[in-house]
């Protein structure tokens, strides 16, 4: 079955760190770019980070740049998001999402999503 399964969410104090994982199955993981998209409570979706299929190209939104790092291990079919210096406004459900090609340019949509993992930043 083609699916994405996020894990690693939880409660963390402001200034703390957390690493999210997204396990992919049912498709050739290394052939597709991946992204992290988040949804704060009561808000809309917000794209945060993207990585190419090979992992040689990454891109982060200004809201997370310098604090979050996206990476992938194609041998483990797993996507990661290392989140440092967390703030209360980072509280959200984090979704991993698959792009339709190995690079995101010219294909500006997400064709597969996971169910998400909740990150709560609070003291």
Residue whose token pair is 């040689």: 56
Distance of alpha carbon 115 from alpha carbon 18, whole angstroms: 18
Work out which of 72, 110, 117, 119 binds another protein, going by CB under 8 A: 110
Distance of alpha carbon 73 from alpha carbon 20, whole angstroms: 13
Tell me whether residue 30 or residue 59 sits nearer to another protein (CB atom): 59
Tell me whether residue 53 or residue 114 sits nearer to another protein (CB atom): 114
Q: Of residues 34-93, which lie at the interface with another protein (CB under 8 A)?
A: 35, 37, 43-47, 50, 59, 61-62
CB-side neighbour CA atoms (13 Å) of 113: 13
Is 27 near another protein (CB under 8 A)? no
């Amino acid at each position: 079955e083609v699916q994405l399964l996020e894990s690693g969410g939880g409660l963390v104090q402001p200034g703390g760190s957390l690493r999210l994982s997204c396990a992919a199955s049912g498709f050739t993981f290394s052939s597709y770019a991946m992204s992290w998209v988040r949804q704060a409570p009561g808000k809309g979706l917000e794209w945060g980070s993207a990585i190419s299929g090979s992992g040689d190209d990454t891109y982060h939104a200004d809201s997370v740049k310098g604090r979050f790092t996206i990476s992938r291990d194609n041998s483990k079919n797993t996507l990661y998001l290392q989140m440092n210096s967390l703030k209360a406004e980072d509280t959200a459900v984090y979704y991993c999402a698959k792009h339709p090609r190995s690079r995101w340019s010219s294909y500006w949509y997400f064709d597969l999503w996971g169910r998400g993992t909740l990150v709560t930043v609070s003291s």
